[in-house]
Structure 1
Amino acid sequence: MADISNPRPMVNSKLLKNYMGRRVTTVVKVARTEGGNVVGELPDGAPITVKQAPQHVAAQSQFMEVIGVVEGDRSLRAETCTSFGDNFDMSTYNDLCQLANIENRECFV
């Protein structure tokens, strides 16, 4: 059974500001690594820095799911990162983020 006691909203850049200091889920298209951080794009194409992201996950594929805490308009502190391979439809995930936060929120909690 899924744990729904602490839901994690799915976000794009437009939704990040609504969840400052809270735990969220998103998918990042990896552009590069810088020290312990991953720099990439959110589902709607906006830039993002993922702090404390495991470098081995970022090196495995072009896309990764990030569960983490929103620290700013363009940054997350990673708690968990999962490789999503090299073929992922960010446009569809962006649509899902919007649906999950506006029209059908109760379906995703």
Structure 2
Amino acid sequence: MDTSDPAPRVNFELLQRYIGKKVRLVGKVMGLDGDLLTVKAADQGLVYVKVLPGAGHASEYVEIDGIVESPNTVQEQQHVEFGSNFDLNSYNELCKLAHFDYPALFL
């Protein structure tokens, strides 16, 4: 496993810590306007994702791998669709554990 370029899992609150860096964000797709996807993050904040040209986002929940451009904007590098049944509350708790309670256990 290559761990040279880890991408931490984040919620809306944590995005501001990673401006200019790669992250993973899971959220609910709220809409797509041109190349700008609106995603509700696990902690309910709205994040704007600049999607790749021609990238489809057909699922209700999605994981975005991308570079944080501002406290509420991410440039997508790739994405994974999670379907229509995903527990954002549990994911939000995972983000808190990974960043505040047990950071040594996570990349």
Say whether the fold is shared (TM-score over 0.5). yes
1:1-109 to 2 correspondences below 5 Å: 2-53=1-52, 55-56=55-56, 58-59=57-58, 61-109=59-107
What is the total number of aligned residue pairs between the two structures? 106
Query: Are the aligned partners of 1:64 and 1:84 in contact in 2 as well (CA < 8 Å)?
Result: yes
CA RMSD of aligned residues (A): 1.1
The unaligned stretches of length 5 or more in structure 2 are none
Q: Distance in 2 between matches of 1:18 and 1:88?
A: 25
Give identity over the alignment, percent: 34
The unaligned stretches of length 5 or more in structure 1 are none
How does the TM-score come out when normalised to structure 2?
A: 0.93
SS in 2 for 1:92: helix
Amino acid at match of 1:72: S
**How many Å apart are 1:55 and its aligned residue?**
4.0
Query: Are the aligned partners of 1:30 and 1:40 in contact in 2 as well (CA < 8 Å)?
Result: yes
Q: Deviations over 1:34-76 (max 9, x none)?
A: 10121120110111111024541x12x1000001010111110
